[in-house]
Structure 1
Amino acid sequence: MDNQHYRQNITLQYCFPDNNASCIKEVKEGPAYIFLFIVLSCISVCTVFLNLLVIISISHFKQLHTPTNLLILSLAVADLLVGLFNMPVSIMQLMDSCWYLGTIACYLSPIIGFVAVNGSVYSLTLIAVDRYIAISDPLKYSSRITVCKTLLFIIFGWCICLCYSIMYLYINDYFFQSQTSTHCYGECVVVVKYYWAIIDLILGFVAPCSVILVLYSIIFNVVRHQAKAVIAVNNSNTNNQRAKILRSSEIKAAKKLGTVIFVYLACWIPFYLSSVSVDNLTSSSMVWTVFYWLLNCNSSMNPLIYAIFYSWFRASVKYILTCRIFETSSSRINLFPEN
């Protein structure tokens, strides 16, 4: 019964009926697919909207032009590309197996997709490094980490992501699909070789994930030790109110770091586990689609984790949504209320 219902929901046609080399077209129909289309489209729109808010905030307000916020801006740009390109293309391929945008777009689409995903991971790693330096050596932070140095690291990182993405697709013979006997007109599929999936697992996930986990664990330990030291001093001076505030700050920092690590691992682990569980993982498979969407959802969560938790973001959003950023000298508004 389930198989009959599945066949009824998929109508087999040809992508280009006038072309003898056309691929078979699979159009998904029915209420379930319509609902899925609406949900995924909403996720894509929210991803673009949230990251645009971050980009406009940091770009417009001069008070936010700091090394840390530039890294958050880099992360928002990467996540914006995911929402603008990765998600719509994935929705299109999920609802219709045919590729109608041409050969050039077929080559450029996965490059943009891989650059965006890798750029997001690279930015997350740089944010962890930046926070580690700021916490472990705060006195030398301003001299060691400057806006110019940060911009150079961001540009260098994006260039590395572009080169890595092109090499990734080149090694997997993506640019030579027309030479394969299984190729048909109207197809745009990435097939990942098993050995390269292992390499990508190490370079694209294990290495940056290890750096992020180690640095955030060190950050948490440093913050905890600093809080305990100050609390001990305050307790000796019977300043219990100050001690309670520091303890509350420690708990908030722990929750924020825990949220960062949990969301990152939850979104990325399933995709990479699936990539090494089969010999050749193709982008047209349902396993790839589900876990790739889960990975992309990390781009929706990043602006919530890294920006909405900050008071300056909430303040800047009010100015943006009320169009007050168009007022004279709005870029010099103070977004940090006095304590």
Structure 2
Amino acid sequence: MEFFSTPKDIVITSHQNPDGDAYGSSFGLQSVLTNLGHNAVVISPTDHAAYIGWLPGVEGVINFEGKDQPKAIKLIQKADAIFCLDFSALNRIKEMEVHIRVSRAVKVLVDHHQEPEDFADYVFWNEKAAATCELLYLMCEELGWEDKIDKDAAICLYTGILTDTGSFKFDATTADIHRIAGKLIEKGIRPSKIHRTLFDNQSVDRLKFLGFALNERLHYLPEYRLAYFKFSQADLKQFNSQKGDTEGIVNYGLGIEGVIFSAIFVEMEDMVKMSFRSVDDFSVSEFARENFNGGGHKNAAGGRSFETLDAVEKKFLNLLPIYKEQLLAQPA
């Protein structure tokens, strides 16, 4: 892109409640753009969970919901370019949506979710990609920016790939993902350290919460080849649950022999947040989009509802007979 051949003021943002791929891509790109001579800042729609708070660059992030919102709005207004990472629709950035939508900055979308909204000037999108961090690395290759990926950027990009591939076990894990991971390792990163920091660094409260989830809140419905978890605000408060503590729990449902669909329902202050996971050809993205105001990927999606937790659970259970034939038809 000729546009980026001279220094620019650039805003980088990702979806609300950022995960490893959202922050990995954000701070990885910030490092690359800084090394290219640009003034790049990361603005997050919401605060982040502790498990990704160690990433290089996080200390400089601006939380749009925090005290620096006026500063964030000014940065958006003066930006020459805005990179939108790891989300396909502007409603995924909460209150930032209106400011990004009316901005006259050049907008660049880099994402791998289904059905991207048509708002960006440049789009680097592939729903078959395992992670936005994968796409960012490929974009850097195409633009000749690969040499600007330093060790900090490599740590961030590897983190996004590691988390969104489920430690290289999901179906989207390809030979090219391993090639990219190898290139990032050559930048001097330590994969074992990144893995330990992400997954072996939990609080005692979180481990007790996980035990509670598996013992008390796991529902197994073999007649649908399904498992699901349901957490009230009281459950979260009981274990001093922090942002991100429910992350990954939904995957435990798929660990049950024969289960091909797993769900989690979490009662928040203003809504019920849900995540869906599947294997093989059952599309949880379609399920979420058709029933719970959500979407995502074929085998990993999210949704939300403003009904009560019990009402959401009842709706979910009432939907299952409609999908039973499709669920039972999946390979064993």
Structure whose residues are more often helix by fraction: 1
Fold agreement, TM-score > 0.5 = no
Q: Which has the higher contact order (CA 8 A, sep 6+)?
A: 1
| Larger Cα-atom Rg | 1
Give the TM-score, by structure 1 length: 0.23
